[in-house]
Amino acid sequence: MSVAATSMTGLLITGGVGLLTAIAAGVLTNWDKIFHKDKVVTGKVVGGYAPTGDFETEVRYYLEVSGMRANIAEMQKMTLAAEEKRLIEESPEDGAQIQAIIDIAEECMAPLEEFVKVLIPIWVKYLTLEQVQELNKFYSTEAMQRVRSKNTFVMEEFLPKATEIAKRYQERFVKRVEEYRNASERAGDA
């Protein structure tokens, strides 16, 4: 398997894990704000949110109103573009092959819907319908919608920096694995 293909496989796995982590982090980091002891959303709710009473519908609404679905789609697009750029910088002579691999990665990327189908039964175990409705009320406020409108810009600045951090740690990991292999080979020769 080529370096580009190996890199893309890791990218796809990381993307899936990143998706689930982002959803969990969004809920957990706002837990105290969303599930305040008084269960009161103080901001003005916009967009006509009306609780449905159906857990799955509420989770799907959350993915939209929180911007999670749009953020994930944008993150996938930016990640592929950043990876393509990195690979071309490393191996400009392989540009056509790299482009083909990026196209395949994009074509084979798991759609969010597959993750949502797995996520809903997990949320049922840990959250009540009322808690998801509180999330939706919270994300439907004017303040949260203003924050959501800035997410694309935040991601555009964040992703290249996050990619650099991930690259440093990937290089460190590869180096340590090589050191381990070399030490194991030397121990086997002794």
Indicate whether 167 belongs to any domain.
Answer: no
Range ranked top by mean pLDDT from 69-83, 95-109, 154-168: 95-109
pLDDT per position as a tens digit, 10-49: 554 555 455 445 555 555 555 454 444 554 445 556 667 8
pLDDT per position as a tens digit, 124-172: 999 999 999 999 999 999 888 888 888 878 888 888 888 889 889 999 9
Mean pLDDT value across residues 102-111:
89
Burial of 10-39, coded b for 16+ CB within 10 Å and e otherwise, reads: ebbeebeebbeeebeebbeeeeeebbeeee
* Domains in the chain, number: 1
Indicate whether 45 belongs to any domain.
Answer: yes
Residue reference for tokens 């920096």: 161
Residue ranges making up the domain that contains 61: 3-158
d(CA 172, CA 154): 27
Indicate whether 168 belongs to any domain.
Answer: no
Contact of 78 with 157, CB cutoff 8 Å: no
Indicate whether 153 belongs to any domain.
Answer: yes
User: What value does the CA radius of gyration of the chain take, rounded to a whole number of Å?
Assistant: 21
Indicate whether 129 belongs to any domain.
Answer: yes
Cβ burial, residue 85 (10 Å; 0-12/13-18/19+): middle
Residue 45 has what DSSP assignment? B
Q: Which residues contact 142 (CB under 8 A, 6 or more apart)?
A: 43, 44, 46
Indicate whether 164 belongs to any domain.
Answer: no
| Count of alpha carbons within 13 angstroms of residue 38, beta-carbon side | 3
Specify the pLDDT at position 35: 47
Indicate whether 13 belongs to any domain.
Answer: yes
Phi and psi, residue 38, nearest 5°? -85, -5
DSSP string, 105-142: HHHHSPPHHHHHHHHHHHHHHH--HHHHHHHHHHHTBH
**Percent above pLDDT 90 for the chain:** 28
pLDDT at 67 over 80: yes
Indicate whether 179 belongs to any domain.
Answer: no
